[in-house]
């Protein structure tokens, strides 16, 4: 269901073709510094933390708090929220299986570019299909300049809890037959098999979840400092 992984680390070679690329007569423009040199000069190591889970599981809440906590401590971090991206970058996409896969492919490509710049990228998006998430991981880990960090976080809350929270009223609409294709009800959600971190938000508060994410990130930045 996922598109072919495009090794965007391709270097040189006029008109070198990559599976899945439609454009012809293009070439990769070589930078004047390597990723390692960029990270060394900026004092940061870019990576992506990818939060997946049902609507109402707490992804956006934890992601926003994590972004604030990192930036407050001097870490170059930015949050890519699924709904926010559908207002702009992905505004031409709906919720068919094909559009959901393209939505995740685009987010994965953007996250990788930002991570390559030295940013700690926090992605919060349902991303229901395992193959699409695996493709995003592959974008990060199979690159000519070496692997970029990719941390999959399963924001795990029971469906009943998500329905009770229902922050956007989507479950209510789906149960009433007003909308279809609701992930977890009449559309599938494939939970991660080997997530680096599982956050059970029915049991853990936001602060505990943020702390677990910071530990998982192992953030390396010369300007990182404790709250003290």
Q: Which residues of 101-129 are buried (b: 16+ CB within 10 A; e: fewer)?
A: bbbbbebbebbbebbbbbbbbbbbbbbbb
* Cβ–Cβ < 8 Å for 100, 131: no
Q: Which residues of 17-42 are buried (b: 16+ CB within 10 A; e: fewer)?
A: eeeeeeeeeeebeeeeeebeebbeeb
Instruction: Report angle CA 129, 132, 135 to the nearest 5 degrees.
Output: 150
Cα→Cα distances 184→74, 98, 129, Å: 37, 17, 12
Q: Which position has the token pair 């939505």?
A: 103
Identified catalytic residue from 124, 127, 147, 220: 124
Tell me how far apart the alpha carbons of residues 181 and 130 are, in angstroms, rounded to a whole number.
17
Is residue 124 annotated as a catalytic residue, yes or no? Answer: yes
Q: Is the dihedral of CA 55, 57, 59, 60 positive or negative?
A: positive
Please give the positions annotated as active site.
Answer: 124
């Amino acid at each position: 269901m996922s598109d072919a992984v495009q090794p965007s680390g391709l270097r040189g070679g006029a008109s070198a073709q990559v599976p899945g690329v439609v454009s012809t007569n293009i070439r990769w423009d070589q930078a004047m510094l390597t990723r390692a040199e960029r990270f060394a000069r900026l004092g940061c190591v870019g990576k992506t933390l990818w939060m997946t889970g049902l609507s109402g599981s707490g992804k956006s809440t934890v992601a926003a708090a994590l972004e604030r906590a990192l930036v407050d401590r001097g870490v170059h971090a930015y949050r890519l929220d699924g709904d926010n991206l559908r207002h702009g970058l992905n505004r031409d996409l709906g919720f068919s299986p094909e559009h959901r896969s393209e939505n995740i492919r685009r987010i994965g490509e953007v996250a990788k570019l930002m991570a390559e710049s030295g940013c700690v990228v926090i992605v919060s998006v349902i991303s229901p299909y395992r193959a699409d998430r695996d493709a995003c991981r592959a974008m990060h880990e199979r690159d000519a300049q070496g692997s970029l960090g990719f941390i999959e976080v399963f924001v795990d809350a029971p469906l009943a809890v998500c329905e009770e929270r229902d922050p956007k009223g989507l479950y209510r609409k789906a149960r009433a037959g007003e909308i279809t294709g609701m992930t977890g009800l009449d559309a599938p959600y494939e939970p991660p098999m080997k997530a680096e971190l599982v956050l059970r938000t029915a049991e853990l508060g936001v602060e505990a979840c943020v702390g677990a994410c910071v530990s998982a990130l192992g953030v390396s930045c010369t300007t990182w400092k404790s709250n003290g």
